[in-house]
């Protein structure tokens, strides 16, 4: 029987942009506890934190996509509302930031959209 290799920890530099990451580190690290135990606790907490952050990013992405879809549906062919066009551009920029921040794979994102 073969044993699976332990899952390796991979640090993402984008995490440093989130204040919640810094808070998560300071709340899970205990200077009284031995270093290895702190690492185990940290690894567990960072996995939880990543799941929460991904859920949040996906929630915001879905809301932005729904708003963009609503704008596109409300714009009749040939008509142009500058307000809607500006709002759509703003939402597309937010979506781009959301995707960059979360490093969400665009292909898997569209697979999720097709599946739902």
Per-residue pLDDT of the chain (116 residues; tens, 9 = 90+): 566 666 677 777 777 777 888 888 888 888 898 999 988 898 888 888 888 887 888 888 888 888 888 877 777 666 666 777 787 788 888 877 777 766 544 444 444 444 54
The two structure tokens encoding residue 25: 């580190």
Q: Could you tell me if 106 and 99 are in contact, meaning their C-beta atoms sit under 8 angstroms apart?
A: yes
The two structure tokens encoding residue 42: 């940290």
Helix (H, G, I), strand (E, B) or coil at 101: helix
Domain-embedded: residue 21: yes
Domain-embedded: residue 9: no
Domain-embedded: residue 8: no
| Full domain range(s) for residue 85 | 14-115
What dihedral do alpha carbons 63, 67, 73, 74 form, nearest 10°? 150
pTM of the model: 0.50
Domain-embedded: residue 57: yes
Find the radius of gyration of the CA atoms of the chain. Answer: 20
């Amino acid at each position: 029987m073969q044993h699976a290799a332990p899952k390796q920890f991979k640090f993402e530099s984008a995490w440093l942009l989130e204040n919640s990451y810094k808070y998560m580190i300071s709340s899970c690290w205990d200077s009284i506890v031995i270093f290895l135990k702190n690492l185990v606790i940290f690894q567990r907490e960072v996995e939880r934190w990543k799941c929460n952050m991904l859920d949040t990013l996906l929630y915001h992405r879905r809301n932005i996509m729904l708003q963009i879809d609503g704008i596109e549906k409300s714009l009749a062919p040939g008509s142009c509302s500058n307000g809607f066009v500006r709002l759509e551009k703003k939402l597309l920029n937010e979506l781009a930031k959301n995707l960059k921040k979360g490093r969400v794979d665009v292909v898997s994102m569209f697979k999720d959209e097709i599946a739902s």
